[in-house]
């Protein structure tokens, strides 16, 4: 709640991103904040909102009816002096997130489009909430949020009991519940107003400014945005305390809120800053500003021990261990044109993107040229001699637009004994990590199927959180025979199940194996039949041959041929090779 309050005191901080599992009252906290602000306005932005709806657009009704150019304000104008709330902000298009964050940082919106030049104030507290299990924001967008906080449900029985008690009391009598907390809410609202008024008088001494610069440099954050956000947050915290000057305590609070998410340069980096790391950075900053070093924090190790415990709890079964070296890959595409969720992988018909042809409906936006061409032959019968084009409602034409979609990328990984030998699986998992990083950037959903011994497992059901996939990949159990047919059928099961849930999301199955099916004389035949069944579900299939050594049997190549899949050797999984080969997948 502190992060929300500080942004209410100083909207220039740039907003708050609240990350947490489902059912942790993220939305409740945001709505509660709106009730405490002087204007008390809460504007919610739906995930499916378009850029026109957010920033505003040309008022077509006035243009066609009155012949005048008029601007119709969007949600940013409505949120002025209030809270703009974006639930599931990680599912919003990246370019729309950029628009929101730019407006939040500048306090104004400038529109230059459709023959309209317009500017208006847009000072608001931007709050985004998200569940990391549904996918992360890109590090570049994380950096644009001023502050982030992670929330989780308490495991304390007393606290959980009180939460349920209060919720039930609210449901029984909402008015009485609100009345019971009216005085404390009014006191908090008054405190926010008082801190806002005091903010301009808060002094940021040069030694504290140097402390901020030293701490930000210690965590190796990119650019200068972190320094500015920490400075603004420290000043807001001082004003919240009623102080006239920023102190080291204010800087520490600000750093805890503003820096953890800025350390995340890679989608698989764990966000967060350990308290001990921040303590050390603060002590080092004392030297940078020439002050005596304070006593080290005497608090004990919260883990109660001197080392990192092994969380895996593995028995005698061997595990894949750490993935091998990863590398940059280029685009793997599903052929054709789909209609799936917006992303950056395969071609798709979308509500945004470039217009490729004219449509009779306006469902995907106005096609201006098509509208003019439809109206032009009718000008004589409408009595036009001179002047502007005379338009009617039936002249309006929409646009078929083409953009990119995200796909379901299923990794079927052979974890049998033949793959585990000679560290081959480390190279394979390194390749999968490379492809997972690519899937993260292209906003795909991913799933991981592992097959070994006597069965195949869905190690990770379809998810947008690819960092979870990396962790599951590191814990793969290895060894035993190669039930290749079961692995392919399990991948097919994932395809069918996800299609029932999301019919428009197309699937790309990447099979990483040496092709050595074991389990009887007909194991190879069963594997080829399973591959054909998988391909029959309109899933694009790529077989990555992981066989190594001087003598090669070529079984993976035969598997790919039997189902019309694209075939690549593991060593060819480079950026240029993948880009050239994947576009021909059938």
Give the residue from 400, 401, 346 showing the smallest Cα distance to 538: 346
DSSP 119: E
Calculate the CA dihedral of residues 578, 412, 447, 264 and round it to 10 degrees.
Answer: -50
Calculate the CA dihedral of residues 272, 213, 139, 249 and round it to 10 degrees.
Answer: 30
Query: In the numeric block, which tokens belong to residue 399?
Result: 């646009």
Sign of CA dihedral 444, 470, 530, 566: positive
Give the residue from 248, 344, 335 showing the smallest Cα distance to 539: 335
Across 115-257, the runs of DSSP E, i.e. the strands, are 116-121, 125-130, 147-151
SS (H, E, C) 145-191: CCEEEEECCCCCHHHHHHHHHHHHHHHHCHHHHHHHCHHHHHHHHHH
β-strands 71-73, 56-58: how paired?
Answer: antiparallel
Active site residue 225: yes
Cβ contact 17:145 at 8 Å: yes
Cβ contacts of residue 24 below 8 Å, gap of 6+? 151, 152, 153
Give the chain's count of helices (H) and strands (E).
22, 17
Q: Which residue's entry shows tokens 């030694």?
A: 207
CB-count burial class (<10 Å; 0-12, 13-18, 19+) for 18: buried
Q: End-to-end distance of the chain based on CA atoms, in angstroms?
A: 52
Cβ contact 296:548 at 8 Å: no
Cβ contact 97:89 at 8 Å: yes
Cβ contacts of residue 177 below 8 Å, gap of 6+? 166, 169, 170
Catalytic residue among 210, 225, 344, 499: 225
Neighbours of 413 (CB within 10 A): 29
Give the residue from 35, 3, 29 showing the smallest Cα distance to 185: 35
Sign of CA dihedral 373, 379, 385, 390: negative
In the three-class reduction of DSSP (H, G, I as helix; E, B as strand; rest coil), residue 22 is classed as: coil
Residues marked active site are found at: 225
């Amino acid at each position: 709640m502190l992060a929300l309050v500080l942004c209410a005191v100083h909207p220039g901080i740039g907003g708050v991103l609240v990350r947490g599992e489902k059912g942790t009252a993220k939305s409740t906290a945001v709505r509660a904040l709106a009730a405490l602000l002087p204007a008390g306005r809460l504007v919610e932005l739906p995930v499916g909102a378009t850029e026109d709806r957010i920033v505003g657009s040309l008022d077509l009704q006035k243009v066609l009816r009155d012949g005048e150019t008029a601007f119709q304000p969007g949600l940013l104008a409505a949120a002025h002096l209030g809270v703009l709330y974006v639930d599931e902000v990680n599912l919003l298009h990246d370019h729309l997130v950029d628009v929101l964050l730019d407006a939040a940082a500048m306090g104004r919106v400038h529109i230059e489009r459709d023959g309209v030049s317009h500017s208006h104030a847009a000072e608001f507290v931007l709050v985004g909430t998200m569940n990391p299990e549904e996918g992360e924001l890109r590090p570049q967008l994380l950096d644009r949020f001023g502050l982030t906080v992670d929330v989780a449900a308490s495991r304390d029985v007393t606290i959980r009991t009180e939460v349920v008690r209060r919720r039930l009391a609210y449901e029984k009598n909402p008015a009485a519940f609100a009345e019971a907390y009216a005085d404390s809410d009014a006191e908090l609202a008054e405190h926010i107003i008082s801190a806002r008024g005091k903010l301009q008088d808060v002094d940021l001494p040069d030694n504290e400014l140097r402390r901020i610069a030293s701490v930000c440099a210690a965590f190796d954050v990119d650019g200068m945005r972190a320094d500015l956000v920490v400075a603004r947050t420290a000043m807001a915290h001082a004003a919240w305390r009623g102080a006239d000057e920023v102190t080291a305590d204010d800087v520490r609070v600000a750093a805890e809120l503003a820096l953890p998410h800025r350390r995340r340069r890679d989608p698989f980096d764990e966000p967060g800053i350990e308290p001990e790391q921040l303590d050390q950075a603060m002590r080092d900053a004392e030297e940078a500003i020439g002050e005596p070093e304070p006593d080290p924090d005497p608090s004990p190790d919260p883990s109660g021990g001197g080392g990192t415990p092994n969380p895996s709890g593995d028995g005698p079964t061997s595990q894949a261990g750490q993935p091998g070296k990863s590398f940059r890959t280029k685009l793997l595409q599903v052929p054709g044109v789909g209609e799936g969720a917006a992303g950056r992988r395969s071609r798709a018909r979308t509500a945004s993107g470039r217009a490729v042809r004219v449509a009779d409906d306006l469902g995907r936006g106005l096609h201006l040229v098509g509208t003019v061409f439809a109206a032009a032959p009718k000008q004589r019968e409408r009595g036009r001699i001179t002047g502007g084009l005379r338009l009617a409602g039936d002249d309006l034409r929409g646009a078929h637009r083409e953009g990119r979609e995200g796909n379901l990328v299923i990794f079927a990984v052979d974890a049998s004994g033949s793959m585990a030998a000679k560290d081959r699986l480390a190279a394979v998992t390194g390749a999968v990590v490379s492809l997972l990083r690519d899937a993260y950037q292209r906003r795909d959903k991913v799933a991981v199927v592992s097959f070994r011994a006597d069965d195949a497992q869905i190690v990770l059901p379809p998810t947008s959180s690819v960092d979870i996939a990396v962790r599951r990949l590191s814990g793969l159990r290895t060894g035993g025979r190669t039930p290749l047919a079961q692995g392919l059928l399990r991948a097919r099961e994932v395809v069918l199940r996800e299609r029932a849930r999301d019919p428009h999301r197309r699937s790309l199955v990447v099979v990483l194996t040496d092709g050595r099916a074991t389990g009887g004389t007909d194991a190879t035949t069963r594997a080829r039949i399973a591959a054909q069944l998988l391909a029959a579900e309109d899933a694009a299939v790529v077989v990555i041959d992981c066989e190594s050594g001087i003598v090669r049997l070529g079984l993976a190549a035969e598997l790919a041929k039997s189902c019309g899949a694209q075939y690549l050797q593991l060593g060819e999984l480079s950026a240029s090779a993948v880009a050239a080969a994947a576009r021909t997948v059938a």
